[in-house]
Structure 1
Amino acid sequence: MGSIKISCVIVDDEPMALNLVESYVEKTPFLVLKKKCSSAIDAMEFIKTESVDLLFLDIQMPDLTGIEFSKMLPKDTRVIFTTAFDQYALEGFKVEALDYLLKPFDYAEFLAAANKAHSWFKLVKGKQENIISEEKEFLFVKSGYKQLRIKLSDVLYFEGLKDYIKIWLKDNPKPILTLMSLKALEEELPETKFMRVHRSFIVSLKNIEVIERSQIIINNQRITVSEQYKPNFLAFVNKNSFKP
């Protein structure tokens, strides 16, 4: 994973404080300044249209305090509070601030807080990258004495038969038989592409042709969506339905 860049906004009603934090941000290689704002209202308008990772946020400001503003932020936007008043520290940690800088602070103190944010974003963004990279494109399955490479994009559905699974593929009239449980297979498949709809069936979501009442039609095969799996399947259908 390459070096992580953290986009940030500085919010403070004191021009000197704004300029000082800006100079600190510019010295820090992994921070990218998106905007300086002299009020929480200005910052709120900016964040409506721009994605921001981190706010350096003053607490005591007119109209809307930093604490109040922090409770309105998107869940992925984190905060380092900057304030001249140490009585806000406890309240700051209650809203899950990454750190708390007491004015006047020097660059070493600022950098320590910024490094804490860098560690947090590295952990979170690293997990996101792993999730994406772990989405498999193929599986090796044992069939007879061979290990067959199955492209997941070619799979129509998996059918469970006691200890065996039938793998039905596009342009292949006969299924591949492999010794495996459907439950074990389900844990290996990317959940964005496949869904268990019945105790005996996992379907490829992109290959569903028709949904009729409680049945899915794939390649002329009718597969019933059982009650146990219906809520999850209906949520997928609703998410992907055209709503005029």
Structure 2
Amino acid sequence: MATISLSCIIVDDEPMAMNLVEGYVKKTPFLELKKKCSSAVEALDYVNHHKVDLLFLDIQMPDLTGMELSRMLPKNSKVIFTTAFDEYALEGFKVSALDYLLKPFDYAEFLSAVNKALDYFVNRKKDDSQLIETNEKEFIFVKSEYKQVKIKLSEVLYFEGLKDYVKIWLKGLERPILTLMSLKSLQEELPKKDFLRVHRSYIVALNNIDVVERSQILINDLRITVSEQYKPQFLEYIQKNSLGR
């Protein structure tokens, strides 16, 4: 059973061919038809402004051919070619088409092609999930005093921004590690589930917050005020992790 839905468009300058594919799409539960386009130019404009997983794409069309369009698509959009000309098959696979349907084709052939597409997107979703898990960082390296220092993120209490520098306060250390970088660039590298910016000058380790009192956070005897800019996101985190009132 399909676990995902694929958004798709039909691109064909022949109304009868378009209507046939539309009928097949509507019979297929995991396909969601977003638009029918009578030209590749119209389709290109649509995919540049909307997310489209799959295009059923004719090849021979005026102004811009389906083959030319396939080379302009976003990398996450995939193609099943639908054409009356078999001489384009090899070229179709060179542009990474998922399948190539030769007109006239029946629903069984159509279903075989879209099942390949479904398998592709299901597997890509699994790969993306595994990549996210793999990319969960346990440590970072920062340059400090001409050395690359390994920082275990589990030992970080908070990061403090100071002009062009960041102070990294760690458990068990009386003095911070000082590194030349901006707090903004550091924030982009940190796991969002573990760290939250609460002030123009502070990113805190959520697991190491001791007390929250109104608009202040207590970490290791330091009081950090949550500024208005970051308060909504911080309050959302507190509400999600609070028991009772």
Question: Fold-level match, TM-score > 0.5?
Answer: yes
Hey, what does 1:98 align to over in structure 2? 98
Q: Specify which of 184, 196, 200 is matched with residue 141 of structure 2.
A: 196
Counting matched residue pairs gives: 180
Q: Is the 8 A contact 1:216 1:222 kept in 2?
A: no
Q: Is the 8 A contact 1:12 1:39 kept in 2?
A: yes
Shift of 1:209: 2.2
- What is the letter of the counterpart of residue 190 of structure 1? E
Q: Deviations over 1:95-119 (max 9, x none)?
A: 0000000111010000000000000
Shift of 1:12: 0.3
Structure 1 gap segments, 5+ residues each: 135-186
Hey, what does 1:223 align to over in structure 2? 177
Q: Specify which of 159, 168, 181 is matched with residue 208 of structure 1.
A: 159
- What is the letter of the counterpart of residue 210 of structure 1? G
Give, in whole Å, the separation in 1 of the partners of 2:54 and 2:158.
41
Structure 2 gap segments, 5+ residues each: 143-147, 190-245
Hey, what does 1:27 align to over in structure 2? 27
Are positions 1:56 and 2:56 aligned together? yes
- Could you state the TM-score of these two structures normalised by the residue count of structure 1? 0.64
Q: Secondary structure at the match of 1:93?
A: helix
Hey, what does 2:121 align to over in structure 1? 121
Q: Is the 8 A contact 1:5 1:30 kept in 2?
A: yes
Q: Secondary structure at the match of 1:112?
A: helix
- Could you state the TM-score of these two structures normalised by the residue count of structure 2? 0.64
Hey, what does 2:236 align to over in structure 1? none
Q: Is the 8 A contact 1:194 1:203 kept in 2?
A: yes
Give, in whole Å, the separation in 2 of the partners of 1:94 and 1:206.
52
Q: Secondary structure at the match of 2:136?
A: coil
Give, in whole Å, the separation in 1 of the partners of 2:85 and 2:43.
22
Q: Is the 8 A contact 1:78 1:97 kept in 2?
A: yes
Q: Is the 8 A contact 2:6 2:32 kept in 1?
A: yes
Give, in whole Å, the separation in 1 of the partners of 2:157 and 2:124.
29
Hey, what does 1:84 align to over in structure 2? 84
Q: Is the 8 A contact 1:201 1:223 kept in 2?
A: no
Give, in whole Å, the separation in 1 of the partners of 2:72 and 2:175.
49
Shift of 1:127: 2.2
Give, in whole Å, the separation in 1 of the partners of 2:72 and 2:58.
15
Q: Secondary structure at the match of 1:200?
A: strand
Q: Secondary structure at the match of 1:28?
A: coil
Give, in whole Å, the separation in 2 of the partners of 1:47 and 1:28.
22
Give, in whole Å, the separation in 2 of the partners of 1:234 and 1:37.
47
Give, in whole Å, the separation in 2 of the partners of 1:206 and 1:130.
28
- What is the letter of the counterpart of residue 64 of structure 1? L
Segment of structure 1 superposing worse, 2-11 or 97-106? 2-11
Shift of 1:211: 5.3
Q: Deviations over 1:83-139 (max 9, x none)?
A: 11011011101100000001110100000000000000000012223445x3xxxxx
Give, in whole Å, the separation in 2 of the partners of 1:124 and 1:206.
36
Are positions 1:5 and 2:2 aligned together? no
For the structure 1 residues 221 and 82, does the alpha-carbon distance in structure 2 shift closer, same or farther, using more than 3 Å as the test? farther
Give, in whole Å, the separation in 2 of the partners of 1:17 and 1:200.
61
Cα RMSD over matched residues?
Answer: 3.2
Q: Secondary structure at the match of 2:61?
A: coil
Give, in whole Å, the separation in 1 of the partners of 2:160 and 2:179.
14
Give, in whole Å, the separation in 1 of the partners of 2:179 and 2:151.
9
Shift of 1:236: 3.8
Hey, what does 2:111 align to over in structure 1? 111
Shift of 1:202: 3.9
Shift of 1:190: 1.4
